[in-house]
């Protein structure tokens, strides 16, 4: 990855934020999964630097910087952590209060709505500290209080499962179930009370969860670009990609798959000599 190119294009932005961004890209592009394959193979694709620069600028325009914690880059675009939604809420409503939490099987949670005044009781169990499987997440809540009123938003296990089924990147839920559950309930609560204020942020984050977006998605053919095809063959030859992973990002016909495997094998044999 050409980090000098990225730094040059982002010279107008705070240098420490750009350094943080480049540090994130360097680490994320080399990070591997348990099976030794790259976790973010798309970062090695031709032209990724340009896309990374655009996403940095987009996040900055929304008041955030890509750091690998609050804001990440996924194969289909930006991903905002639930803290971004809280930060945006606090900037828009400094007088407001936002309370939230996940509810596990052994937790005690109840609430009442007394003529618009939300009163709730949440007593979390410590059982999950030692065994999360024995005390799984069964729901989540979000209470929003501003000068305009109060609201309570709740999602149960069925809601969570439905959101998971629409997710374009299931591995994120597997690794950060609690964070993604909180993000879902907070975003739903804010969307219910302040939809217009969060429209831009939701649109850029919603690409990962909107099932309609998933249905409309049309991947480009891996063979429409000669350089792209060569990069894919090279990646499979050196073991950094698998053909299954390539199919997640590009359209690969059965005949093209066979050709890629043949070309990758030839390239590997050539490199091994």
Give me the residue spans of the domains in the chain. Answer: 3-80, 82-194, 226-272
Mean pLDDT of the residues in the chain: 83
Reply yes or no on whether the pLDDT at 47 is more than 90: no
Query: Mean per-residue pLDDT for 79-89?
Result: 88
pLDDT for 209 equals 41
Q: Where are the alpha helices (DSSP H) in 2-135?
A: 3-9, 15-30, 48-61, 82-92
Pull the structure tokens for residue 231: 């990069």
Pull the structure tokens for residue 146: 């501003």
Reply yes or no on whether the pLDDT at 54 is more than 80: yes
State the residue for tokens 């680490």. 27
pLDDT for 221 equals 75
Alpha-carbon distance values, 157 to 162, 185, 220 (Å): 9, 12, 36
Q: Which of 61-65, 174-178, 208-212 has the highest mean pLDDT?
A: 61-65
Q: Which of 74, 103, 235 is closest to 181 using CA atoms?
A: 103
Work out whether strand 108-114 and strand 77-80 pair parallel, antiparallel, or are unpaired: unpaired
Reply yes or no on whether the pLDDT at 30 is more than 80: yes
Q: Which of 53-62, 66-75, 206-215 has the highest mean pLDDT?
A: 53-62
For the whole model, what pTM was predicted? 0.66
State the residue for tokens 């495997």. 261
Q: Which of 257, 218, 220 is closest to 241 using CA atoms?
A: 257
Among 42-56, 84-98, 239-253, where is mean pLDDT lowest? Answer: 239-253
Cβ-based neighbour number of residue 143 at 10 Å = 20
Phi, psi of 169 (to 5 degrees): -125, 85
């Amino acid at each position: 990855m050409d980090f000098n190119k990225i730094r040059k294009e982002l010279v107008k932005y705070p240098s420490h934020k750009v350094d943080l961004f480049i540090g994130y890209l360097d680490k994320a592009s080399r990070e591997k999964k348990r099976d030794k394959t790259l976790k973010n193979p798309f970062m090695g694709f031709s032209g990724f630097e340009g896309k990374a620069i655009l996403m940095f600028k987009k996040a900055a325009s929304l008041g955030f910087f890509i750091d690998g914690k609050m804001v990440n880059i996924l194969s289909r675009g930006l991903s905002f952590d639930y803290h971004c939604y809280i930060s945006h809420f606090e900037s828009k409503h400094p007088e407001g209060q936002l309370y939230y939490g996940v509810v596990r099987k052994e937790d005690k949670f109840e609430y009442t709505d007394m003529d618009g005044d939300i009163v709730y009781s949440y007593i979390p169990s410590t059982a999950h500290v030692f065994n999360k499987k024995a005390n799984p997440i069964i729901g989540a809540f979000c209470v929003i209080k501003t000068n305009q009123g109060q609201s309570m938003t709740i999602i149960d296990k069925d809601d969570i499962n439905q959101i998971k089924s629409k997710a374009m990147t299931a591995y994120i839920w597997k690794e950060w179930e609690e964070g993604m559950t909180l993000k879902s309930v907070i975003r739903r609560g804010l969307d219910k009370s302040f939809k217009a204020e969060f429209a831009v942020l939701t649109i850029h984050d919603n690409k990962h969860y909107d099932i309609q977006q998933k249905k409309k998605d049309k991947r480009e053919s891996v063979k429409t670009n000669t350089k792209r095809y060569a990069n894919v063959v090279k990646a499979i030859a050196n073991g950094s990609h698998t053909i299954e992973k390539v199919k997640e990002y590009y359209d690969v016909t059965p005949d093209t798959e066979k050709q890629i495997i043949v070309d990758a094998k030839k390239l590997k044999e050539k490199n091994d000599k």
